[in-house]
Chains A and B, each alone.
Chain A
Amino acid sequence: MTDFAPALGTLGGLLIGCGAGLLLLRNGRIAGISGILAQTLWPSAGEERGWRIMFLIGLPLGAAVVTVFRGPLTLEIHSDPLWLASAGILVGVGTRLGNGCTSGHGVCGIARKSPRSLGATATFLSVGAITVFVTRHLLGLGQ
């Protein structure tokens, strides 16, 4: 269980928005993380890897800067390895099939008033909530 942290949440959200805004305004690119990762691993014709690799390196580096000030990241994971691996595979397949994740659809796409992103975000939020309800409350798994 985690305590509601509106101030840190807002601060973090502003930083995420600045990151996405910077990439859009300076590079004309969308900060969709699943897409950036997939295009880095298997680039389509004419797509370059360089800036994508830099963006991906930036993610853990930015988190590392935060740990300097706030100490190590808190990671409360109550799932066993098989559970985590299954979840990872679903996230990998789902974000490719659905063309984006929380960043590309949730943060960037909705800001562009994309109906696709709105539809995707509404879907993964509701399915995520149903999944937690079923696993945690109906099946009593994963604490």
Chain B
Amino acid sequence: MKSWATALLSGGLFGAGLAISEMTNPARVIGFLDITGEWDPTLAFVMGAALVVSFLSVQLAGRDGSAAAQPPASGIDASLLCGAALFGVGWGLAGLCPGPALAALISGSTDVILFVGAMVVGMAGFEIAQRYRRPPTHAA
């Protein structure tokens, strides 16, 4: 149960950080992506500060031999880049990505609920397509 408490606190810190930095506000995210308009560089500061702390914790975890601190063995492939590109289009259209959208559910906004619902539908579609392509293999 200790790992559950850690996960709750971790999600809480994450959600608080997204709210304080207003990454939960789509206009702020779109303002960052709008490099030719009235550019709002706030997101770069959010990501930069988060990366500094994240990088330090990866160093600490690596010293303890944590497997999660290691980069994945596989390289860049077409599905990674296609997926990231599709995500980029959706992110640019709505100004919302999964973390801020879930955190912003607290506002009760029907727009956010709609976005999250559609996101889950998209994930479900992918899941179904995966199972159709590759029937689940049962561990022997």
Report B's interface with A, CB cutoff 8 A.
Answer: 3-28, 30-31, 33-38, 40-58, 60-61, 64, 66-72, 74-76, 79-99, 101-107, 109, 111-112, 114-127, 136, 138-139
Chain B nearest CB, measured from A105 CB (Å): 7
A22 touches B34 (CB 8 A): no
The residue in chain A whose Cβ has the minimal distance to the Cβ of B38 is A1
Given the interface pairs A98-B83, A99-B83, A128-B91, the reply to whether A57 lies near B103 with Cβ below 8 Å is no
Cβ-neighbour of A116 out of B36, B70, B80, B85 (below 8 A): B80
Query: How many residues in A have their beta carbons less than 8 Å from beta carbons of B?
Result: 116
The residue in chain A whose Cβ has the minimal distance to the Cβ of B138 is A45
Bound complex: CA A11 to CA B9 (Å): 17
Q: Which residues of B contact A34 (CB under 8 A)?
A: 98, 123
Cβ-neighbour of A2 out of B40, B86, B121 (below 8 A): B40
Cβ-neighbour of B123 out of A67, A75, A96 (below 8 A): A96
Cβ-neighbour of B11 out of A2, A54, A107, A131 (below 8 A): A54
Query: Could you tell me the dominant secondary structure of chain A's interface residues?
Result: helix
Q: Which residues of B contact A67 (CB under 8 A)?
A: 19, 106
Report A's interface with B, CB cutoff 8 A.
Answer: 1-6, 8-31, 33-34, 37-38, 41-42, 45-46, 50-52, 54-67, 70, 72-79, 81, 83-99, 101-103, 105-117, 119-121, 123-133, 135-137, 142
Cβ-neighbour of B118 out of A10, A65, A84, A98 (below 8 A): A84
Q: Which residues of B contact A33 (CB under 8 A)?
A: 14, 98-99, 102
Q: Which residues of A contact B93 (CB under 8 A)?
A: 79, 83, 86-87, 90, 131, 135, 142
Given the interface pairs A72-B107, A87-B90, A133-B34, the reply to whether A95 lies near B83 with Cβ below 8 Å is yes
Bound complex: CA A23 to CA B111 (Å): 30
Bound complex: CA A18 to CA B12 (Å): 10
B56 touches A21 (CB 8 A): yes
Q: Which residues of A contact B69 (CB under 8 A)?
A: 24, 112
